[in-house]
A and B are shown apart, each in its own frame.
Chain A
């Protein structure tokens, strides 16, 4: 799993590449939290276009990112969700509680 941060105080974009499973989850959460601490953005976008695999451990990561962003008063949006991770989000009903575009 690699995480690439771009952007500024207005909008922080985090691009996730690789397989987001339980093995990768805690490291990914730490990286997201660190990026939020450094940028303190007004809005956060998770770009999932590079996700080759995701299971329910990834759902927990996304919900945690959303909570952290919310604590900072930032809104969170998820972009470019590939077909297969999208089906996992839909099966879990998470597509209804996060802002997916």
Chain B
């Protein structure tokens, strides 16, 4: 697949940056002329992935979060959210609905929502080294909408 455009932002794992990250990703995605529904899905998925870095990757410290957005041919939007935090022992288990290590502050539905709002979700993680979440969504062309 041919890359058409890309951008990256890096920020500290402060919760105030959750809103910044989803808004920035949505502004970048706007060049694909998405519908408001598509934009809202993208914002929600980015919010889930970035919140996971803030809450789970760096529970007791501030760390670095990288969000990379890319556009490929045929209006494919790819969003990568990466941290260098504590990582996930069992990714398959973590992706199950309602699985959470966060107690009653969390719902355990983050990965489920990323999966249902995006076309593809890939999660790679190494305990102690960090986590990378890659999500893809094809933005439908106007004629087809």
Contacts and interface: CB of A to CB of B under 8 A. Distances in A.
Most chain B CB within 10 A, of A53, A55, A60, is at: A55
Given A55-B51, A60-B107, A88-B44, A23 B16 contact: yes
Contacts of B141: none
Q: How large is the interface on B (under 10, 10 to 19, 20 to 34, 35 or more residues)?
A: 20 to 34
A38 B44 CA distance: 33
**Dominant SS at the A interface?**
helix
Q: How large is the interface on A (under 10, 10 to 19, 20 to 34, 35 or more residues)?
A: 20 to 34
Given A22-B15, A55-B113, A57-B107, 19 more contacts: A21-B18, A22-B51, A22-B55, A23-B19, A25-B105, A55-B110, A56-B48, A56-B51, A59-B107, A60-B104, A60-B105, A60-B106, A60-B107, A63-B104, A64-B104, A84-B37, A88-B113, A91-B117, A92-B112
Interface of B: 15-16, 18-19, 22, 37, 40, 43-44, 47-48, 51, 54-55, 97, 104-107, 109-110, 112-113, 116-117
Interface of A: 19, 21-23, 25-26, 53, 55-57, 59-60, 63-64, 67, 84, 88, 91-94
29 contacts: A19-B19, A21-B51, A22-B15, A22-B51, A22-B54, A23-B16, A25-B105, A53-B22, A53-B43, A56-B51, A56-B107, A56-B109, A56-B112, A56-B113, A57-B106, A59-B107, A59-B109, A67-B104, A84-B37, A84-B40, A84-B44, A91-B109, A91-B113, A91-B116, A92-B107, A92-B112, A92-B113, A94-B107, A94-B109
